[in-house]
C-alpha cells in the first residue's frame, strides 16, 4: 500500500462485541477497548470526532510520594476533595449579573477573585442559569435577544451546545439523576420540559404543561415520578408530575399542588429526602413561606412554618444526611438556614445576621455546602459555606456579585 492519508470515521462507535469473531465484526465494532473512550471533541479538523481516544489519566493529588506500600484500593467518587483549609483544589466559577463575565476563585472565595470571560458570545450577552454535568459547566446564554442558547465549558474550551428556533426560549437548566433537563417556553402560549442528550438534541417529556409557565423554578425525582415547579403570570405557582419512563409527547402532566398564598406565590425548590418529597414555598413578603412535605397519598402539609408574613422559604437541599432550608427573614427577623435530620424536627443551623429577605440557592461541591444569595445589597456578604452543617464560613464581600447570582460551576484543579 502506498503512502498517503487514511481517514477513519466512526471507529468504535458500535462498542465492544464479544460474541463474534474478529473477522465477523461490523466496521465500527471492537473486540476490546479497556483504555479507550469516545471522543467528545467536535472541532473541525481535529480528526477525533466520533472516534476513540485514550482514556485520560488521573492527576497526582500529592506533590511527593508517601512512604510504604499500597496494600489495596477502594472505590471512591472522583471530585473535589477535602483539601487543605480553604484550598480544596477546585476552581469555582460564579456568573456576574447582566454580563458575559464569570468570577473565579481557587480558595473558596476566601480572598480576592478574578474576573474572566469564557466563550465568544456577544458583548451584550448575559448568563441565565447553569448546571454542572459530567464534569462540564452548562449554562444558558442570551445570544440574540430572548432567543437563548445553551453553551458548554470544560474549563478550557467553550462552545455552543444547543439552541432554539425563533419564538422559543430556554427558561431554566437542571442536572438530575444523570441527565440534563431544561424548561422551554413558546412565547407566552405554552411551556415544555425537555431532556438533552450528549449532542444537545432535545427530547420532549410529556405534552405541553397545562398552563403557560413563564418561569421554571425546580425539578425533582420522587418515587419514579418527575416533578417540576413553575409560575405563570398572574396565577399562583404550581407543582406538576409525570411518570417519565412511560410518557410520550401526548401524555398529560398531572397537577400535584397549587400554592395557597395568592397569585404571587411561588414554589421555589423541591428535594426528595428519606422517602418523602419536600417543597419550599414563598412569594412576596405579604404571603409567608413554609416548608411542605408530600404524603404518600399526595397531600401537602407544613413541617416547618416560618410564621411571619415577611418570611420567604426558598431553597432546600440534602447534605451529609440532613436536609437544609434557606428562609428569608425567618419569623420576620434574620435570614436563617434551617436543618433537620429526619425532615420533621427543624432547628436553625445558622443565622447570617442580615435582615433583608433574600432568596438563595444551595450547591453541594464535594464536602462543602454553599449557599449563594440571589439578590442583596452592596454591604452584605454574597454567601456562605459549611463542611459540617454547624460552623459556617462567610464569603467576603466582592462587588458586583452582591446583586444576583446567575450561574455557578466548578472544576477540579
| Contact (CB, 8 A) for 126 and 99 | yes
CB burial of residue 370 (10 Å; 0-12, 13-18, 19+) = buried
The predicted model gives 123-144 an average pLDDT of: 76
| Contact (CB, 8 A) for 205 and 195 | yes
CA 172 to mean position of chain CA atoms? 10
Instruction: Report whether pLDDT(391) > 90.
Output: yes
Please tell me the least confidently modeled range out of 259-268, 294-303, 319-328. 259-268
d(CA 161, CA 13): 21
| Residues 6+ away with beta carbon under 8 Å from 175 | 131, 132, 133, 138, 181
The predicted model gives 215-241 an average pLDDT of: 89
Query: Cis link prior to 400 (omega < 30° from 0)?
Result: yes
pLDDT tier at 401 (50, 70, 90 boundaries)? very low
295 CB neighbour count, 10 Å cutoff: 10
Instruction: Report whether pLDDT(47) > 60.
Output: no
pTM of the model: 0.76
> Which residue, among 237, 241, 215, has the nearest Cα to 294 in the 3D structure?
241
Going from N- to C-terminal start, the domains of the chain cover 7-54, 215-357
Residues 337-369: tens digit of each pLDDT = 999 999 999 999 998 876 666 677 899 988 899
The predicted model gives 160-180 an average pLDDT of: 86
d(CA 367, CA 83): 9
| 3-state SS string for the chain | CCCCCCCCCCCCCCCECCCCCHHHCCCCCECCCCCEEECCCCCCCCCCCCCEEECCCCCCCCCCCCCCCCCCCCCCCCCCCCCECCECCEEEEEECCCCCEEEEECCCCCCCCEEEECCCCCCCCCEEEEEEECCEEEEEEEEECCEEEEEEECCCCEEEEEECCCCEEEEEEEEECCEEEEEEEECCCEEEEEEECCCCCEEECCCCCCCCCCEEEEEEEECCEEEEEEECCCCCCEEEEECHHHCCCCCCCEEEEECCCCCCCEEEEEEEECCEEEEEEECCCCCCCEEEEECCCCCEEEEEECCCCCCEEEEEEEECCEEEEEEECHHHCCCEEEEECCCCCCEEEECCCCCCCCCEEEEEECCEEEEEECCCCCCCCCEEEECCCCCEEEECCCCCCCCCCCCEEEEEC
C-alpha cell at 287: 404571603
pLDDT tier at 241 (50, 70, 90 boundaries)? very high
Instruction: Report whether pLDDT(409) > 50.
Output: yes
Q: For domain 215-357, is the CATH number 2.120.10.30?
A: yes
> Which residue, among 294, 178, 288, 311, has the nearest Cα to 229 in the 3D structure?
294
At 34 the pLDDT is 63
At 303 the pLDDT is 92
pLDDT tier at 37 (50, 70, 90 boundaries)? low
The Cβ-side half-sphere exposure at 248, using a 13 Å CA radius, reads 1
Instruction: Report whether pLDDT(45) > 50.
Output: no
| Contact (CB, 8 A) for 221 and 227 | yes
Instruction: Report whether pLDDT(286) > 70.
Output: no
Residues 52-91: tens digit of each pLDDT = 666 666 556 566 676 676 676 666 544 444 444 445 678 8
d(CA 329, CA 357): 5
Amino acid at each position: 500500500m502506498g503512502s498517503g492519508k487514511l481517514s477513519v470515521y466512526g471507529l468504535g462507535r458500535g462498542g465492544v462485541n464479544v460474541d463474534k469473531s474478529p473477522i465477523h465484526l461490523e466496521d465500527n465494532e471492537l473486540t476490546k477497548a479497556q483504555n479507550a473512550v469516545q471522543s467528545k471533541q467536535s472541532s473541525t479538523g481535529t480528526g477525533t470526532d466520533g472516534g476513540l481516544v485514550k482514556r485520560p489519566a488521573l492527576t497526582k493529588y500529592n506533590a511527593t510520594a508517601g512512604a510504604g506500600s499500597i496494600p489495596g484500593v477502594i472505590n471512591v467518587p472522583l471530585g473535589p476533595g477535602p483539601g487543605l483549609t480553604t484550598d480544596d483544589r477546585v476552581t469555582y466559577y460564579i456568573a456576574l449579573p447582566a454580563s458575559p463575565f464569570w468570577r473565579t476563585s481557587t480558595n473558596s472565595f476566601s480572598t480576592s477573585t478574578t474576573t474572566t470571560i469564557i466563550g465568544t458570545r456577544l458583548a451584550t450577552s448575559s448568563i441565565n442559569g447553569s448546571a454542572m454535568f459530567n464534569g462540564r459547566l452548562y449554562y444558558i446564554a442570551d445570544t440574540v435577544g430572548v432567543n437563548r442558547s445553551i453553551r458548554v465549558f470544560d474549563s478550557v474550551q467553550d462552545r455552543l451546545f444547543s439552541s432554539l428556533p425563533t419564538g422559543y426560549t430556554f427558561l431554566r437548566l437542571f442536572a438530575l439523576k444523570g441527565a440534563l433537563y431544561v424548561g422551554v417556553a413558546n412565547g407566552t402560549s405554552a411551556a415544555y420540559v425537555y431532556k438533552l442528550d450528549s449532542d444537545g438534541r432535545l427530547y420532549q417529556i410529556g405534552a405541553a404543561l397545562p398552563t403557560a409557565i413563564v418561569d421554571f423554578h425546580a425539578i425533582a425525582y420522587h418515587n419514579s415520578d418527575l416533578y417540576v415547579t413553575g409560575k405563570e403570570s398572574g396565577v399562583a405557582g404550581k407543582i406538576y408530575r409525570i411518570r417519565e419512563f412511560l410518557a410520550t409527547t401526548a401524555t398529560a402532566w398531572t397537577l400535584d399542588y397549587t400554592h395557597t398564598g395568592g397569585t404571587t406565590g411561588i414554589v421555589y425548590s423541591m428535594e426528595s429526602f428519606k422517602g418523602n418529597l419536600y417543597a419550599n414555598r414563598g412569594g412576596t413578603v405579604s404571603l409567608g413561606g413554609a416548608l411542605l412535605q408530600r404524603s404518600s397519598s399526595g397531600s401537602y402539609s407544613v413541617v416547618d412554618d416560618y410564621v411571619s408574613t415577611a418570611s420567604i422559604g426558598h431553597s432546600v437541599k440534602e447534605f451529609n444526611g440532613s436536609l437544609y432550608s434557606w428562609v428569608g427573614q425567618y419569623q420576620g427577623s434574620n435570614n436563617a438556614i434551617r436543618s433537620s435530620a429526619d425532615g420533621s424536627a427543624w432547628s436553625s443551623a445558622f443565622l447570617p445576621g442580615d435582615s433583608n429577605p433574600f432568596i438563595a440557592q444551595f450547591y453541594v461541591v464535594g464536602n462543602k455546602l454553599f449557599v449563594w444569595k440571589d439578590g442583596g445589597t452592596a454591604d452584605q456578604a454574597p454567601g456562605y459555606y459549611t463542611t459540617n452543617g454547624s460552623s459556617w464560613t462567610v464569603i467576603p464581600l466582592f462587588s458586583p456579585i452582591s446583586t444576583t447570582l446567575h450561574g455557578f460551576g466548578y472544576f477540579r484543579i
